[in-house]
Structure 1
């Protein structure tokens, strides 16, 4: 019996862990470990809940890829650290040192990480979801851009949307995305990306089509089925589209041409893995994991993670 493939959006989850717990949580030598503890607990909870046979933590090897910035110069521009040349993301001072700690815990546990040169974690998640042909896939993220990966074919791909934390997480597939955001159910994932393109996304620095908010974008996609059809209708005098709406799409033509590849995740990235993605039944380096647990003061969290591995392995044996 095979469990699902669990794909975790690494930075999205450790940012949420960092802000969910006070940075007064420290190691015995005084280092902040709130993100390490929170992230480790999240992973343990997710493994316990879904009993996966495979787990991959997906990483940003470039959080602001050149091809996206070239297409839309405002892409994530507001997140650039003030004292850099535009290539470094602004991250809290006490979070940055915790990322290597998290990666060390994952390595000692035997949980795979994966990245793609020059690309974001979104693109790694998009590629691994799109190329999976065996197991039900669950993408865990707080980034709603990844709702575009939901599908039923060739395997079910679902998104566990954790923007409000694991306790209030929503598990969304094509039907749920279509109902929640008002997009065509037969192409809910693709249509969600097009909805984001039309309405814009201030968190990513995407302006959208001026005068088109989420409700209007939803209505237009439901009426025309896709951005391609919508743009064709805007150019067709016999389509019945209102003159004002035609003008909005005409004015946004350059933006629409450039921004669709920015919004869409890459689905054919060359992904590199730290190790095989099979979830071990026990830590692959127990001595190192115990050393980290004691050094960082996260023994209880590591214990929960070890228990989760054992539980998931037992579930596969039935």
Structure 2
């Protein structure tokens, strides 16, 4: 089997599991475990279908980095429930999900799946760095369209997009992006910058939606080209020129916020999926019993190939 790396956008997956799996089972301490069980079921299905040889759970050590907020104060501001001076802002997370995060980490550890995060950076940046430095094909599993910018056909970097559910996964390559959005992967970050994203608090260029953003990028290549054309008064309608010029301050900083960091100084991590050693197999059973993970842990163990 040829080597293939799978990178999990962990928060994207466990949020989806929390809202998609009924809250019918609880751990012995009373906490719900629907997100943890759903997350393990996702891993089992993904590993079975795509057969990665290497697997990493990428983590949000800082879901709203201050350096991004300094550039665009509205960045994810609507999701903040508490500002902490000594660390990352506290994100609005349902209490029943918050209680399951330690369970998810415990289960990943038992399965031997490394968890990788980076101070002052989001999981997106961890994914961007690991995908960029990978020496094998990469599947990025996420429900976040921002990571489409990492698609690279030449290096066989794809996105397994989960927004339509685990039974309707989309495998996103450059052809998919051109067909769906009218832009290439290398243009997607600029496309997202122009279009904006209310879920991330990115205003975009007022009056520029998806179609106009794609039209401008096809004509001028990137934001620098669009800005230069607007300043010269060439290659766009007067209305488009007015909108681009009015957003000059935003366009000067937003690309840095939207662009995924690909150069983090991350430690080397052994992400190989190996048959579970006897002690690790016993540990998965103990963790499953401790948190009432039941058949979800069993399916994950079987998919990962126990000894």
TM-score by length of 1: 0.91
Give, in angstroms, the shift of residue 285 of structure 1: 1.8
SS of alignment partner, residue 106 of structure 2:
helix
Contact 1:116–1:272 (Cα < 8 Å) also in 2: no
Structure 1 residues 25 and 299: alpha-carbon distance in aligned structure 2, compared to 1, 3 A threshold: closer
| Segments of 4+ moved more than 3 angstroms | 82-86
Residue 282 of structure 1 aligns with which residue? Answer: 276
Check the 8 A contact 1:194/1:260 in 2, yes or no.
yes
- The answer to whether residue 239 in structure 2 is matched with residue 259 in structure 1 is no
Describe the superposition over 1:67-91 as per-residue Cα deviations: whole angstroms up to 9, x where unpaired: 1000000000000015867811010
Is residue 196–residue 205 contact of structure 2 (8 Å, CA) maintained in 1? yes
Counterpart for residue 293 of structure 2: 298
Q: How many angstroms apart in 2 are the aligned matches of 1:111 and 1:57?
A: 7
1:316 is matched with none
The residue that corresponds to 2:156 in the other structure is 156
Which structure 1 segments of 5+ residues have no match?
314-318
Cα distance in 2 between the residues matched to 1:39 and 1:88? 22
Number of aligned residues: 304
CA distance in 2, matches of 1:221, 1:244: 16
- Does 2:67 correspond to 1:71? no
RMSD of equivalent CA atoms: 1.7
Distance in 1, Cα, partners of 2:131 & 2:185: 12
Identify the match of residue 119 of structure 1 among 121, 125, 149. Answer: 121
**Counterpart among 188, 193, 208 of residue 197 in structure 1:** 193
Q: What SS does structure 2 have at the residue aligned with 1:207?
A: coil
What is the CA-CA distance between 1:22 and the residue it aligns to?
A: 2.2
The residue number in structure 2 matching 1:61 is 61
Rounded Cα–Cα distance in structure 2 between residues aligned with 1:49 and 1:84:
41
Alpha carbons of 1:254 and 1:83: their partners in 2 closer, same or farther (altered >3 Å)?
closer
The 8 Å contact of residues 25 and 32 in structure 2, kept in 1 or not, is answered as yes
**More displaced, 252-261 or 223-232?**
223-232
**SS, match of residue 140 in structure 2:** strand
2:304 is aligned to 309
For 1:29 and 1:255, the matched residues in 2 are separated by 48
The aligned counterpart of 2:95 is 93
- Asked if structure 2 preserves the Cα contact closer than 8 Å seen for 1:129 and 1:137, the reply is yes
Residue 220 of structure 2 is matched in structure 1 by: 224
Please tell me whether the aligned partners of residues 44 and 305 of structure 1 are also in contact (alpha carbons under 8 angstroms).
yes
The alpha carbon displacement at 1:281 in A equals 1.5
Q: Distance in 2 between matches of 1:276 and 1:200?
A: 37
Q: 3-state SS of the aligned residue for 2:260?
A: coil
Alignment of 1:126-137 (within 5 A): 126-133=128-135, 135-137=136-138
Residues 17-49 of structure 1, C-alpha deviation per residue, up to 9 Å, x if partnerless?
000012232124422000110000100111111
Q: Distance in 1 between matches of 2:146 and 2:266?
A: 20
Assess if the C-alpha contact under 8 Å between 1:55 and 1:277 holds in 2.
yes
Equivalent residue number for residue 231 of structure 2: 235
- 2:229 counterpart of 1:206: no
2:41 corresponding residue in structure 1 = 41
Q: Secondary structure at the match of 2:158?
A: strand
Q: Does the Cα contact within 8 Å between 1:115 and 1:272 map onto a contact in 2?
A: no
CA contact (8 A) 1:23 1:94 kept: no
